[in-house]
Amino acid sequence: FPGGGWGVPLIRPFIVCPSKVNEVFGISRTTALKMEKMDYDFPKRIQLSPNRWGWITSELEEYFLNRPRKEPH
């Protein structure tokens, strides 16, 4: 099983909070929040409780998979 160790599969979270977006997607919290604000196509967070917000993981995955790729310089 990839990533899990001890035969345990790596389980991805259903919701990714801003504080964990770097661990899951490799972009900083600040970058994710800026992208949400400035990029019309970037997924919007959902409210989980009065003070807790997060992105749906599958929406972020879809966004990043469908981004145009740039040629390396």
pLDDT band at 10; cut points 50, 70, 90? low
pLDDT band at 13; cut points 50, 70, 90? confident
Query: In this predicted structure, what is the pLDDT of residue 21?
Result: 94
The 3-state DSSP class for residue 48 equals strand
Query: In this predicted structure, what is the pLDDT of residue 12?
Result: 67
The arithmetic mean of pLDDT across residues 52-72, rounded, is 91
Name the average pLDDT for the chain.
Answer: 86
Which tokens is 63 given? 């966004």
